[in-house]
Amino acid sequence: MNTEAIYEYLERIANLIRTDVRKTGIGSGLQPIHLEALHYLSRCNRYSNTPIAVAEFLGLTKGTVSQTLGVLEANGLIEKQTDTRDRRVVHLNLTPLGEQVIAESIPPQVIRSAMTALSPSEDEAVIEALRLILRRLQQANGLKSFAACKTCRHHLIEQDGARRCGLTSESLTDIDAEKICREHEPPSKLKLG
Ligand code: SF4
């Protein structure tokens, strides 16, 4: 097994991306961690836009996530909304300015320019390889999958074509189906090894 080579590729790719994200954030006074949290909040569903979910997704401590979210709120990029059913729960929504910052910064330029040179079959092969690495990392380390709702074992398509979450019994839209979820569970476990 070539674990060292895989690690070196992933480390180099992560460094290149982070350097580019850092450059992008300088204009708006944001660090990569701020943009990563903002990007997560732009992609997650209504069950997952809470401070604890941001901390889980990014692997941050409670203190760090609180500082990060404070910076996003102070810059007018997110706003808090108290849950209508449980007032102890706070949801974090992107403001129009937050949406604009994400549209302009993510994906970073280094990825945009490199990936346009890929053929459709190379594009698919890259995505498949990265998906496999991510799933194996998550499974081997007992991490949540945080994947798109439409790939979850609880995602139900009813006879009339309507979507529903089997866990909460709530209706889901086509937009919800593309979002990532803290409660996501893959349909079946990949065999490791
Ligand atoms: S179907 Fe799965 S991913 Fe979608 S909202 Fe329900 S628990 Fe989350």
Place of tokens 């993510």: 106
Domain region containing 25: 3-110
41 and 101 share one domain: yes
3-class DSSP state for residue 164? strand
Query: pLDDT digit string (tens) for 152-173?
Result: 999 999 999 999 999 999 999 9
Q: Is 53 in the pocket of ligand 1 (CB under 6 A)?
A: no
CA distance 178 to 85: 24
What is the dihedral angle through the alpha carbons of 53, 178, 91, 187, rounded to the nearest 10 degrees?
-40
Q: Is 16 in the pocket of ligand 1 (CB under 6 A)?
A: no
103 and 146 share one domain: no
- Count of domains for the chain: 2
Asked whether residue 129 is assigned to any structural domain, the reply reads: no
Q: What is the pLDDT of residue 189?
A: 52
Question: Hey, what amino acid is at 191?
Answer: K
Boundary (domain end) residue, out of 93, 110, 127 = 110
Boundary (domain end) residue, out of 110, 127, 149 = 110
8 and 100 share one domain: yes
Which stretch of DSSP H or E encloses residue 104?
helix 96-105
Does residue 1 register a pLDDT over 80? no
CA distance 95 to 45: 15
Q: What is the pLDDT of residue 91?
A: 98
Q: What is the mean pLDDT of residues 133-149?
A: 92
Q: Which residue lies with its CA nearest to atom 4 of ligand 1?
A: 149
Does residue 130 register a pLDDT over 60? yes
Highest mean pLDDT among 16-25, 130-139, 172-181: 172-181
